[in-house]
């Protein structure tokens, strides 16, 4: 059985005088399917008036990558020519010449697709930048205490989130998420508890006493976790840091922001001598940072005598803290050995108990 051609099928449908609507739709769709299998996609056309005859001609357009070199005539088709270098046509056309590739990639951009005969140059934002209002802007960095929730793309800026409890971020970054606080190994103390912007600092008493990297990290972290007033920070920097520097540096204006001042203090802590580090509480008191000095002495007391019982949270300084302060006032030593403290404390405790007993006896008469 030979299939009828599309035109014959359509003619038969048109010549039907009595037909139901559903059947007509089915036959119409069937004719479209059959025709689609054999028809060749037609070339787009345009109309052109022949200048010599005035006749309106229907001419073929030129394909992408070419342009119209000559219009069609009654006897010849449209003449097309390829685009020259740095020129293009993206669509079917009858342009007399190709378009110039006028899209150039500037700062913070890179070429995604180079100019060709069928497309203009395409630019995109470089890695680390995103597009906004036709400009490429650098991805925002999440500050300390924040981590990256969603990394920026070429079309979207970075999305940040606050670090959750038990996590921290100590630097500004457009890539890094918050990191979990480390857990101190057996035999180590939590010299500084972790916060949202710094990790837990673990170590031993010896680490603090020797003035090494852990000791300096302790002091740096201690300063970083306290919100000092800018005026007092400037006083500390001017008195103890600038005084030992070159005069040209000493005479420069101090920063007015907390961040740059804290950076100077931390840089000094990394280079200070062990003797200077031991005098930090005294330095803090001299610049009216008394509360901070007390807290530092308290932390140093815990680190230097961990064998003493710590105070309970929320109850203020405990037995070991006052004992350490008492010992230092009596003997002028920054640290206390267990044997010395136990011996001296036992002596003074027995003396106090004797005086108390004598007082009670005298009151009984």
Query: Is residue 263 over pLDDT 90?
Result: no
Residue-averaged pLDDT of the chain: 77
Cα–Cα nearest to 310, from 188, 225, 209, 189: 189
> 243 CB contacts (<8 Å, ≥6 apart)?
250
Given this model, what pLDDT does residue 190 score?
87
Given this model, what pLDDT does residue 2 score?
40
Give per-residue pLDDT as tens, 93-125: 999 999 999 999 998 999 999 999 999 999 999
- Whole-angstrom distance, CA of residue 163 vs CA of residue 149: 10
- Whole-angstrom distance, CA of residue 249 vs CA of residue 246: 5
Largest Cα–Cα separation, the chain: 146
Rounded to two decimals, the pTM is 0.54
Instruction: Give the whole-number percent of the chain exceeding pLDDT 90.
Output: 36
Given this model, what pLDDT does residue 301 score?
67
The helix/strand/coil state of 16 is coil
* The pairing of beta strand 159-162 with beta strand 189-192: unpaired
Q: Which of 53-67, 131-145, 239-253, 265-279 has the lowest mean pLDDT?
A: 239-253
Given this model, what pLDDT does residue 183 score?
93
Query: Is residue 138 over pLDDT 50?
Result: yes
Joined tokens for residue 35: 């025709």
Residue 162's DSSP bridge partners are 146
Distances 308 to 156, 186, 317, 322, 328 between C-alpha atoms, Å = 55, 18, 12, 11, 15
- Whole-angstrom distance, CA of residue 179 vs CA of residue 291: 30
Query: Is residue 130 over pLDDT 80?
Result: yes
Query: Is residue 261 over pLDDT 60?
Result: yes
- Whole-angstrom distance, CA of residue 51 vs CA of residue 69: 16
Mean pLDDT of 66-86: 96
- Whole-angstrom distance, CA of residue 289 vs CA of residue 233: 9
Give the sign of the dihedral formed by CA 343, CA 349, CA 353, CA 358: positive
Contact call for residues 226 and 246 (beta carbons, < 8 A): no
Given this model, what pLDDT does residue 32 score?
47
The helix/strand/coil state of 110 is strand
Give per-residue pLDDT as tens, 301-314: 654 444 344 433 33
- Whole-angstrom distance, CA of residue 249 vs CA of residue 242: 7
306 or 74, which is more confident: 74
């Amino acid at each position: 059985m030979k299939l009828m051609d599309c035109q014959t099928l359509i003619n038969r449908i048109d010549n039907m005088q009595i037909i139901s609507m559903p059947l007509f739709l089915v036959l119409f769709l069937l004719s479209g399917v059959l025709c689609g299998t054999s028809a060749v996609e037609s070339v787009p056309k345009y109309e052109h008036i022949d200048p010599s005859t005035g006749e309106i001609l229907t001419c073929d357009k030129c394909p992408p990558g070419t342009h119209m070199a000559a219009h069609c005539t009654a006897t010849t088709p449209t003449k097309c020519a390829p685009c020259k270098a740095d020129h293009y046509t993206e669509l079917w056309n009858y342009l007399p010449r190709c378009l110039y590739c006028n899209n150039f990639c500037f700062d913070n951009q890179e070429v995604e697709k180079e100019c060709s005969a069928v497309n203009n140059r395409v630019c995109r934002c470089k890695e680390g930048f995103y597009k906004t209002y036709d400009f490429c802007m650098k991805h925002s960095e999440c500050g300390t205490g924040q981590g990256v929730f969603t990394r920026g793309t070429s079309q979207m800026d970075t999305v940040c989130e606050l670090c959750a409890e038990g996590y921290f971020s100590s630097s500004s970054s457009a890539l890094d998420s918050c990191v979990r606080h480390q857990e101190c190994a057996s035999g180590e103390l939590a010299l500084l508890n972790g916060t949202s912007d710094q990790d837990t600092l673990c170590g031993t008493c010896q680490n603090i006493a020797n003035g090494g990297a852990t000791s300096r990290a302790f002091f740096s972290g201690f300063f970083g976790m306290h919100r000092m007033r800018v005026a007092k920070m400037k006083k500390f920097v001017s008195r103890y840091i600038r005084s030992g520097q070159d005069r040209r540096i000493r005479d420069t204006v101090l920063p007015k922001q907390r961040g740059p001042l804290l950076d100077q203090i931390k840089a000094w802590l990394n280079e200070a001598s062990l003797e200077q580090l031991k005098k930090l509480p005294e330095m803090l008191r001299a610049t009216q940072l008394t509360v901070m000095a007390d807290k530092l002495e308290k932390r140093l007391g815990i680190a230097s005598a961990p064998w003493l019982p710590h105070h309970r949270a929320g109850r203020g300084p405990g037995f070991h803290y006052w004992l350490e302060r008492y010992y230092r006032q009596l003997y002028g030593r920054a640290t206390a050995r267990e044997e010395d403290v136990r011996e001296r404390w036992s002596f003074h405790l027995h003396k106090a108990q004797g005086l108390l007993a004598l007082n009670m006896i005298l009151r009984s008469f």
